[in-house]
Amino acid sequence: MAILYSLVRTGIAATIGIAGMLTAGAVSADSQPAKVLFGTRALPADTNPQSVGFYTGGCIGGAVAIPVDGPHWQVMRLSRNRRWGHPDLIALIEDLSRKAKADGWNGLMVGDISQPRGGPMLTGHMSHQVGLDADLWFMPMPDRRLSYQQREEMSAISVLKEGSVHVDDRRWTSAHTSLLRHAAGYDKVQRVLVHPGVKKKLCDTVRGDRTWLAKIRPVYGHHYHFHIRLHCPGDSPNCRSQNAVPAADGCDETLQWWFDTALRPKKPDPSAKPKEKREITLANLPNACTRILKAGAVEETEAEYSMAASAFRAPPIELPAVSATAILASKPIEAGNISGRKAGPEITVPVPTPRPER
């Protein structure tokens, strides 16, 4: 059965603030870091939906926003303006929220998806650039609607035991497993990224059909949230696919490697040189991304859509103008959870993450 969508109002303030982000002097716009150019766009390009490039280097035209509230979801960290994605992804998150609810998960707390035109971000994330990646918190939404401020302040909760790389059995529930099984069950989902401890928990406990475990891929971080990634959609010929996941369930020595090697604390290497950080500019992205960046914006009133069938009325939340300053000040979702762990924009996961999410 086809799902019908209807346009609803967004309330997105279309003004943007990039004060302080421009380099002094006569610098052409195109030589600015791409994260500044893409990170401060308030609305998507008025094009057909199209994901361009790779998850870690690309952009999206014709993105749509998931509404800040739905019957079974709430979007967090609204100041970042990262609730945009390919229409297939937004539809899938909405569908997943219904399945989650039916399985005893109170509803999704939706983290970062993509910026209105995708591209590199001012903070966090190597990927999430083509509107096909979404972060969902490892905690069900509360029974009440959170205010704008609560969505900025509230911290996610790790599913790991404090100071451990293994899941805390007091926090892990069968609803966690069901949610990941549903997420991996969509044909459109290419992979689901979780902490190795989470993967191990599934390997140790899932009975019956285990084929879906193949799509559950261990990576650093990802114990406060998990990450779903879609295949390149049919409407996006310039979207570059990622290698297929191996067919096996992955509960083997490749998983053990994480515990034996990757997650072991490493002694700092005194002779290691600090990595030079290369600023990504427009020239480093596919050419189509320059066109998408410069294209006219969709009307504010047409930028968001949701299912007509379950029109949901929540108390409206007024969203502020998109501002680089606010994005840079936005709290990491892990802030303030684990005692003794420093919170701040530089500390987003308890292990080093030199590895891009591939």
Residues binding Zn ion (CB under 5 A): 135, 227
User: For residue 92, which of 132, 139, 44 has the smallest C-alpha distance?
Assistant: 132
Minimal distance in Å, beta carbon 114 to Zn ion? Answer: 10
Question: By C-beta, is 117 or 227 nearer to Zn ion?
Answer: 227
Question: By C-beta, is 151 or 227 nearer to Zn ion?
Answer: 227
Question: By C-beta, is 88 or 135 nearer to Zn ion?
Answer: 135
DSSP SS3 for 299: coil
- Which residue is nearest to Zn ion, using beta carbons? 227
Question: By C-beta, is 47 or 353 nearer to Zn ion?
Answer: 353
Minimal distance in Å, beta carbon 227 to Zn ion? Answer: 4
Minimal distance in Å, beta carbon 58 to Zn ion? Answer: 15
Q: Are the C-beta atoms of residues 167 and 173 closer than 8 Å to each other?
A: no
Q: Are the C-beta atoms of residues 80 and 113 closer than 8 Å to each other?
A: no
346 CB neighbour count, 10 Å cutoff: 8
Q: Are the C-beta atoms of residues 62 and 44 closer than 8 Å to each other?
A: yes
Minimal distance in Å, beta carbon 21 to Zn ion? Answer: 24
Q: CB-based contacts of 46: which residues, under 8 Å, 6+ apart? A: 62, 295, 296, 297, 298
Q: Are the C-beta atoms of residues 213 and 131 closer than 8 Å to each other?
A: no
Q: CB-based contacts of 86: which residues, under 8 Å, 6+ apart? A: 49, 51, 60, 63, 130, 131, 132, 230, 233, 236
- Helix boundaries (H) for 26-164: 34-39, 87-102, 148-153
Minimal distance in Å, beta carbon 228 to Zn ion? Answer: 9
Question: By C-beta, is 21 or 350 nearer to Zn ion?
Answer: 350
List C-alpha distances in Å: 63 to 31, 72, 89, 221, 232. Answer: 25, 22, 10, 27, 14
Minimal distance in Å, beta carbon 48 to Zn ion? Answer: 25
Question: By C-beta, is 85 or 250 nearer to Zn ion?
Answer: 85
